[in-house]
Amino acid sequence: MKTSRRKFIQSSAVLASMAGISTLQAQEKKITKPIVISTWNFGVSANAEAWKILSKSGRALDAVEAGVHVPEADPTINTVGYGGLPDRDGRVTLDACIMDEHANIGAVACLEYIVHPISVARKVMEKTPHVMLVGDGALQFALANGFKKENLLTKESEQAWKEWLKKAEYKPLVNIENHDTIGMIALDARQNLSGACTTSGMAYKMHGRVGDSPIIGAGLFVDNEIGAATSTGVGEEVIRICGSHLVVELMRQGNTPQQACELAVKRIVNNQPEKSKEMQVGFLALSKNGELGAYALQKGFTYSVYSNEVPNKIFESKSYY
Ligand code: SD4
């Protein structure tokens, strides 16, 4: 297990250099609005979609929703939306949440059969007195609001699940093929922040398991006075520290986004020193002034940035280990 993980990390480092992944330079850390940032390499195509809205002075909320639609609909991405790896019973269950500049929030968890859970989350936010719908209730709500019921389990994901069933061991991998949950944060031309987070969750989880991604304060948090944060990795550990809310509150106390992400990761290490060596958690943060931060437990966490100064580039975050 250790050797294959090391090999994987080495090969992803090679791939990263081939893809032109760099470390954020000082001059790139302070970026003018609008800006969109998102987790992992697949953030590049998602950011490009969000940028179409941001560059025309559109609203950050619309940008993040449109942006994360890209990986949600992509069957080759097996960690988000259509094509996501199923739970241990072979069911693809999706988690998503969205938050705008007015602290409006919406979320769905354990939602099946709908390609764009982020848009269902937005409908929960805009059309109901609630902030989160789960399971069958979320599906019924989606269908009643015009979403189509579709099979989300691709042949490839079904094959991978059948392979997994042979041993049926639940062991989350670090940095699944360099894409995982997509968390996206945008700061628009009016200097308003919004965020979206969407995932198929940990592959082969127990049916009904919900991670950090749809939990406001864990997988995503936006405070339009201060900044916003999002997370990826083992959701249980992010929930344990109310991760994204913690990052934003640390920024409120005067820490830079980078310092805030580092402090949050260190809190996970302090909670679980041994466990933290074997798993991945990454945080990505953006301040109201366009300052960025990113930090992860393990090497290999990448994120994508699109602004006027940084036309859609991938960066590798620093890590604790
Ligand atoms: C979860 N945080 O469900 C998500 C999935 C993820 O690396 O990002 N996995 O826990």
Q: For the chain (length 321 residues), average pLDDT per consecutive 10? A: 37 43 64 92 97 98 98 95 96 98 98 98 98 98 98 96 92 73 97 98 96 98 98 97 98 98 98 94 96 96 95 96 97
Peptide linkage before 34 cis (omega within 30 of 0): yes
Residue 8 lies in a domain: no
3-state secondary structure of 222: strand
77 within a domain of the structure (yes/no) = yes
Is the CB of 217 within 6 Å of ligand 1?
no
Distance in angstroms (rounded) separating the CA atoms of residues 285 and 230: 7
Strand residues in 127-277 grouped as ranges (E): 132-134, 182-187, 193-199, 220-223, 227-233
Q: With respect to residue 187, please indicate whether it lies within any of the assigned structural domains.
A: yes
Residue 22 covered by a domain: no
Q: What's residue 26's pLDDT?
A: 55
Nearest to 228 by CA among 199, 201, 197: 197
Tell me which residue has its CA closest to atom 5 in ligand 1. 201
Map tokens 């945080």 to a residue.
Answer: 283
> What is the extent of the structural domain holding 265?
35-319
Q: Check if 93 is active-site.
A: no
Q: Output the pLDDT for position 30.
A: 62
Instruction: Please report, for the domain that includes residue 150, its CATH number.
Output: 3.60.20.30
The residue to which tokens 């820490």 are assigned: 255
Is residue 260 domain-resident? yes
Q: Which of 39, 79, 181, 199 is catalytic?
A: 181
Q: What is the pLDDT of residue 32?
A: 82
Q: Which pLDDT does position 13 carry in this prediction?
A: 38
As for how many domains the chain has, the answer is 1
Query: For position 169, what pLDDT does the model report?
Result: 86
Query: Where would I find the beta strands (DSSP E) of the chain?
Result: 35-39, 94-99, 105-111, 132-134, 182-187, 193-199, 220-223, 227-233, 281-287, 292-296, 302-307, 313-316, 318-319
